[in-house]
Structure 1
Amino acid sequence: MPMHGSYNILKFETYEEYLQSFAKVEEHRYLGNKKVIGELVKLGYRSHVPILEKDEFLKCRQRLRQFLNPKVIEKLFSVYRTSDDPALVALADREEPNVLMRLSTIICIQTRRRNGSDISGYIDYADSLRACSQDLLGATNWRAIFEGRIMLQPNRTHLSFYDWHRGTVTFNHSDNYEVINYGGRLMFKHTTDHKIVPVTDTESIYQDNVKRTIIESPMYGLMVLYDHCVRKPF
């Protein structure tokens, strides 16, 4: 029986096949209706194992396939780096492992707008790189950042965005992370290995899931990088 996040998920071509794998022969005999059986499975009446929702199932299959058959990287954005600024060097060092999903980096950054107001936020690096490579609307232009033509700035589509002038905060899930509130603290849960990643220097039971690195940068001031080594599902 497939476990949550198991490689067995790859055996199922559709979400309906996945749900039916939890059903028993007796249920098909007495209920007969696959849709009804599937609803019972989703409600947790037929298994002690957490049942994936359809979008979680599809994302998990996609990620497992990427783990087993990682795409060849044609060209990294960091090859265009023109500066030895420590922040850009650190991001360049992390680009390939983030693209290959071996490492998952969360960027914490605070910048000042032209009008003098400050903004800050947390950025899912791998998610942002992927959006740029796919030319998605509103994606961060990482080539231009490494070339030094524009500065990296957080925005309202990132994991977290705080406008210091207006006092407003925005949170968003990404392909790699779910935003969670744990005891009043902001944390993120990785969607592949389900590890909790705290973004603070305060001691936590989850602190071993992440390495916190502070970068002093002439271009960006202080940038904090939270590196999580992604464990393959088992």
Structure 2
Amino acid sequence: MTEVGTQIDSDKRLLQFETYEDYLDSLITFVDLGYLGNLNIAHRLAELGYRCTGETLDEDTFYCRLKAVKNLFFPIYRPYELTSEHVTPSDNLMQELALRERLNRLKIISTIIFIRNLTKLQFEISGYIDFNERLEKENWLPYFQGRKKL
């Protein structure tokens, strides 16, 4: 069974190819073209795995592994800005969420908030909030300042 480290290590060679056709071209030799006489047929034979000692990748797998290797070696810089950085949270809940904001934005932890509320007619309304998702989609500054309630 292939380990993750060895798989990524062997997939480093895919960085030299821009497209799947370039990958297939690397599997074809001049002798192949001499016997076959057609580049399309040579591509097809290489795609079927007749010109490679190991496994020949299909197009979807090639692009998937290439993307994984590029993400590993050239990570995308995603700047983040903490909403609670220059605000003193109003209550204990907001103070705890402010402590968890950075870790949630970096996707180190995941915080789920459970809220339970009673209406005027004594009906209970409850729900869950995915803190990380709401941080990405909504401005939390009014919540941390105490101007808006969960």
Normalising by structure 1, what TM-score? 0.36
Q: Where do residues 68-217 of structure 1 align in structure 2 (5 Å cutoff)? A: 68-76=73-81, 79-80=82-83, 83=94, 84-85=96-97, 89=100, 92-93=102-103, 95-96=105-106, 141-144=134-137, 147=140
What SS does the aligned partner of 2:52 have?
coil
**In the TM superposition, what whole-angstrom CA distance separates every residue of 1:121-159 from its partner, at most 9, and x where no partner exists?**
xxxxxxxx8xxxxxxxxxx5543468399xxxxxxxxxx
**In the TM superposition, what whole-angstrom CA distance separates every residue of 1:86-112 from its partner, at most 9, and x where no partner exists?**
xx93x842543x5xxxx8x8x7x8x9x
The verdict on how the C-alpha distance between 1:80 and 1:50 changes in structure 2, with shifts beyond 3 A counting, is: farther
**Which protein has the bigger strand share?**
1
Q: Is the 8 A contact 1:4 1:49 kept in 2?
A: no
Give 2:65's aligned residue. 60
What SS does the aligned partner of 2:27 have?
coil
Give 1:205's aligned residue. none
Work out which of the residue numbers 32, 36, 56 in structure 1 matches 2:37.
Answer: 32
- Confirm or deny that 1:21 pairs with 2:31: no
**In the TM superposition, what whole-angstrom CA distance separates every residue of 1:188-229 from its partner, at most 9, and x where no partner exists?**
xxxxxxxxxxxxxxxxxxxxxxxxxxxxxxx9xxxxxxxxxx
Work out which of the residue numbers 39, 43, 48 in structure 1 matches 2:48.
Answer: 43
Alignment partners' CA distance in 2, 1:67 and 1:18: 20
Q: Which residue identity does 2:70 align to in structure 1?
A: R
Give 2:147's aligned residue. none
Alignment partners' CA distance in 1, 2:28 and 2:67: 24
Work out which of the residue numbers 10, 14, 22 in structure 2 matches 1:9.
Answer: 14
Give the percent of matched residue pairs that are identical in Structure 1 and Structure 2.
Answer: 22
Alignment partners' CA distance in 1, 2:104 and 2:50: 43
Normalising by structure 2, what TM-score? 0.51
RMSD between aligned residues: 4.3
Give 1:231's aligned residue. none
Q: Computing the radius of gyration over CA atoms, which structure comes out larger, 1 or 2?
A: 2
Q: Is the 8 A contact 1:80 1:143 kept in 2?
A: no
